[in-house]
Amino acid sequence: MSEDLRESTKERGRRRVLEGVVVSAKMEKTIAVRVDRVVHHPIYKKAIVRSKKYLVHDEHGEARVGDRVRIVETRPLSRRKHFRLLEIVERPKGGELRVVDKHHAEEAPEPAAE
């Protein structure tokens, strides 16, 4: 699937490809991905991490919270959804993660066996 998408992307021109972490997968066929970038402050010369959240189309629902994914820009699919899932780069080690706050995640507890 991702090879076909890469080939069609080359035919249609240059599209932005971003890499980020899935922070929400509660919607049908949609995930929320946080993309971080480092900016240097012009006066204080300090590196600052800026992040932006994108809604991404995930046709098969394969991405989970905590996954590092690569996304590609596409035509508008809805009011806020302008990206598609290109590939899952890395899954988190261990179990599934849940987001605690904007920059932290922790391992989700295992369900109790009865």
pLDDT at 45: 95
**Stretch 52-56: mean pLDDT:** 98
User: What are the pLDDT digits (tens) for 79-99?
Assistant: 999 999 999 999 988 766 666
Residue 87 inside a domain? The answer is yes
DSSP 78: S
**d(C-alpha 33, C-alpha 92), whole Å:** 15
Burial of residue 85, with CB atoms counted within 10 A of its CB: 0-12 exposed, 13-18 middle, 19 or more buried:
buried
Higher per-residue confidence, 5 vs 23: 23
pLDDT at 113: 58
Residue 111 inside a domain? The answer is no
Can you give the length of the chain in residues?
A: 114
pLDDT at 5: 58
Residue 69 inside a domain? The answer is yes
User: Within a 13 Å sphere around the CA of 66, how many CA atoms are in the beta-carbon half?
Assistant: 15
Higher per-residue confidence, 19 vs 102: 19
Return the CATH number at 24: 2.40.50.140
Residue 93 inside a domain? The answer is yes
Residue 83 inside a domain? The answer is yes
Q: 């090879």: which residue's tokens?
A: 3
Residue 114 inside a domain? The answer is no
Residue 76 inside a domain? The answer is yes
Residue 103 inside a domain? The answer is no
Asked whether the predicted pLDDT for residue 54 surpasses 60, the reply is yes
Of all helices (H) and strands (E), which one includes residue 33?
Answer: strand 30-40
Higher per-residue confidence, 107 vs 89: 89
- The domain tally of the chain equals 1
Domain span at residue 64 reads 2-98
